Amino acid sequence: MAQAPVHVTLHLDERKLPAQVFEHLSHRAGILADRQARNKQSVEDFGKPGRDPSSFTGVLGAIAEVNGWIPYMKQAQLRMDWASVVGEQNAQHTWVQGYADGVLYIGVESPVWATTMQFLLPQLRQIVPQKLEGLEIRDIRISGNQQQTRRGKAHPRRYPGRRYNAHDRKRA
C-alpha cells in the first residue's frame, strides 16, 4: 500500500516548503557573516585611540574600590615611599606596621629609634595624610622593641589585629 506524500498528509503548501526549511539556515548564515565582519573590523581597529570605553587604571581602581582594597593599597604605597617620608637613615630602622581604625602604627628597632620618631611626629602628622589621601588618619603611634625586663624577655609588641601577644600566645 502506497503512503501519501508528507506535504499532503500534513496539509502543507508544496511551494512554501523550501522557504520554511531554508529560512532558518539563511538566518544563521547571516549571523555568521555579521560576526566575521565584526571580527575583521576589531582586528583592524585594535589599539586605535577611543576604542576602549575606559582606561585600564580606571577599571583596576573600580575593582579595588568595590572590593575594599584601597586602604591596603594606600598602606603599600606608604611603605614603598617610607624613605621619602622619614629619610633614608630613619627608614632603615623604622617601618609602617599597619593601619587600624584611623590609627597608623609605626614599628621601630629600638627605644632610641622610638625617641627619634617621637621628634618626627609633627612632621609625620603633616606628610602622612597627604601620602594617604582619602584615608582618615586620626593618630600615629610608634611601637616596637622595648627594653629588656629583669627576666631577660623583651616586652611584647602590642598591635591591634593580633590575637595574642608574644608571651600569651596559645596553641589552638
Domain-embedded: residue 31: no
Angle at 22 between CA 17 and CA 27, to 5 degrees: 140
Model pLDDT for residues 30-56, shown as the tens digit of each residue: 898 899 998 888 877 776 666 656 677
pTM: 0.52
Domain-embedded: residue 123: yes
The C-alpha atoms of residue 121 and residue 140 are separated, in whole angstroms, by 8
Of 158 and 73, more confident: 73
3-state SS of 17-58 is: HHHHHHHHHHHHHHHHHHHHHHHHHHHHHCCCCCCCCCCHHH
Domain-embedded: residue 86: yes
Count of domains forming the chain: 1
Q: What's the CATH number where 101 sits? A: 3.30.300
Neighbouring residues of 60: CB distance < 8 A, sequence distance ≥ 6: none
DSSP 8-state assignment for residue 140: E
Model pLDDT for residues 77-120, shown as the tens digit of each residue: 888 988 988 889 989 999 988 888 888 899 998 888 888 899 99
Q: 139: domain range?
A: 69-144
Per-residue pLDDT, 68: 87
Domain-embedded: residue 154: no
